[in-house]
Amino acid sequence: MNILIKSAKVYNSNNKDIHLKTKDILIKDGIITKIADAITPEKETKVISKKNLCISIGWLDTSVSFGEPGFEERETIANGLKTAAKGGFTDIILNTNTNPIPYTSSTIAFIKDKAKEQITNLHPLGALTVNSETVDLAELYDMKNAGAVGFSDYKKPTSNSNLLKIALQYAQNFNALIYSFPMDTKIAGKGIVNEGAVSTGLGLKGIPALAEELQIARDLFILEYTGGKLHIPTVSTAGAVKLIAEAKKKGLDVSCSVAIHNLLYTDEKLEDFDTVYKVLPPLRTKKDVTALVKGVKNGTIDFVTTDHAPLDIEQKKVEFDNAAYGTTGLESSFGILNSIFDTETAVEILSKGRERYGLQTPEIKEGNTACFTLFDNDTLHYVTKQTSTSTAKNCMFFEEKLKGQVFGIINNTKLDIL
């Protein structure tokens, strides 16, 4: 297929010759063959021409859950990747909350096989421990050889300090990335929301910021002792940002992410007991939101993720105490980030991070494979239950005014565009 992208504003800070300039881009059989101010289309060429068309390298989300295998009613891999494409993502990192939990090379191979021939690339995480029970290390080396890009027990803290120490030491033999979810379960107790004035007023048990910060402090001490590569997913407190900033100044190989909803909302959203706002880590305070946004801007926080977690209505339409944690967000992420930050920063956030997972970063360059996200950076846009592609409808961003809209993606010699 030949594709000609007409008059697109290019967002590519690594190439100053085309960054923020309007260009035509010709793609033949998935390869970028020409970039110029104006290109005349040849016969049998699909021309993409839209008002306020912008383009960047394809976007990456580092924390995505679907359902398959085991929970296909929540989201299949095929439909989940279709949803990711609609959100502008050419690559996603898949979490380990499936059934069976992927703690063997055969399960990793199964997941990768299910994602073949899709327009969006799926890169699976493997479980850090057998069945994610946080007791015995899983087959890390074999899973990496099968295609796992890191190791995580999804939303489960590694309470055994020695286990994390051994994992970091062992993983250095094959340059693997180890996750540690930041929550001390003893401090968190039976808390389900942020501990503070809102939780007290609502009569809900709280998770103090201390639970996150104590775990992170412990993990960073272990990392300093062992060496290795540590990733702390979805931090949510001002104290966590400070701890990680100090660790990076020491030269420790640590990265972290924040969920997009923790950059936008505070725990005041809980006042109506709407379970769509029940997430883990919980929505925190304005002080935390301010620190997290600053952490993204100054580079302390490496990634912003949707932490996309599709759930059945039976898991959300229940009493707040009994509801499951999680929200979807793949289709809303650009509009939210583009509202919090300027477009250039939002695109940079969405585009970076592949190197941490050993993945190749695409380039907008003649002779390279086309891996693009196409979008409008200004039009006001809404995602609703009716327009959402995701099977699950537990999205806290429905009806939220979003600045900018994704037109689609080009990847793997395929085109998916509005």
Catalytic residues: 307
Residues 6+ apart with CB under 8 A from 307: 63, 234, 259, 260, 261, 279, 326, 327, 329
Residues paired with 229 in a beta bridge: 177
Whole-angstrom CA distances from 33 to 82, 97, 103 are: 27, 41, 42
Tokens at residue 249, please? 């100044």
Tell me how far apart the alpha carbons of residues 108 and 215 are, in angstroms, rounded to a whole number. 29
Tell me how far apart the alpha carbons of residues 404 and 338 are, in angstroms, rounded to a whole number. 7
214, containing H or E segment: helix 209-226
DSSP structural state of residue 374: E
Tell me how far apart the alpha carbons of residues 21 and 12 are, in angstroms, rounded to a whole number. 9
Tokens at residue 278, please? 């029940």
| DSSP three-state, residue 179 | strand
Tell me how far apart the alpha carbons of residues 405 and 374 are, in angstroms, rounded to a whole number. 9
In degrees and rounded to multiples of 5, residue 236 shows phi and psi of -145, 0
| DSSP three-state, residue 66 | coil
DSSP structural state of residue 294: H
| DSSP three-state, residue 111 | helix
CB 124 within 8 A of CB 94: yes
